[in-house]
Chains A and B, each alone.
Chain A
């Protein structure tokens, strides 16, 4: 589309403004986590800058425990939702079958659903089945919510797959195994990687589902929430800032992977 320079500048300005507002709370968190005082008050003198809350956060056995539980949940959820999502994506995007339309609706349903209610419903269902909630019931609840997301991500990739590439390979005499190894799999790999990243990060940050389904085990967001509503400590923004940094690192890595694989594919295609 042809856009004049002033229009483009206007759009850029608007986007910049939104990004600035968008990152304002994260900036606040970092600022608060660097203040030495127990009670936060904004313009603090430069000599109050400290990293001691980060130190405390890293050393705290309590935080380590919650991080461990969160990581356990995230890892298992990722594996489950990748496997389930992979097959579901095939059913969603690659095969023709009679129940497909209904299936596609079903995939979306958990996403268009208030998470807190889903968490509660699962809690009651586990109670009915006499299952004591613990971290692995949280894995089930996270998977119910995240498997549709991984399915959609991989389906988009599978949709974008050009049939003619496979057909061309078949016409040129490639065996089915060769087609799979050299064409389908490399083309679908970025979808799987980004689905895995989404799964890890969404499970890591999830609060509403964990709140109801972890039982006596607590995930990190639950602990943060409890600390925020009762009794502020600067260790809370420190933990928050660490998780922000972790997310940014993972997203940059994800971006790098996608960029790298597409470039490699393009180069391979050019050759």
Chain B
């Protein structure tokens, strides 16, 4: 299910989503259309542009919140020219599973974008590094000061919703090193240890002041 008002981009998005092995059930050009289509098809995943007609403000966010509320089984990935931590907070406040919020231009890195699509569809989280950076700006104090630069990098990647393997690949270190960093971070921030990726993301996001 894809909602995007720019026709050009919609065509491209459909291509990428099909490449990822999803089947596009419907396309929409604005909020009401999107909600009607979700109600009809009950897709596993909706990819939603934030700024859509008629008002070109935050229609996408509002539609996404409604989808999360009415059809919790539909995961939502929001795309936007600019990411705003406030919208991320709104979106994560209800439920952090099956939520994604990425800059539109991330679509151009096809492999990474497909990975994020799959992660969100499988009930994970995909937050843009920009969103995480904004969340960290808001918390530029207190226990964060106790983290080393490397640990901060790992924390940011955790907040994006990546797995240990994903973090290791991004930082070009071994998975065991990542696990060690994560343990240190959780200890320094007084966060509960959690084995499941998702629970860990939740803890980190809650620490950053968002998430239910």
Tell whether A and B belong to one assembly: no
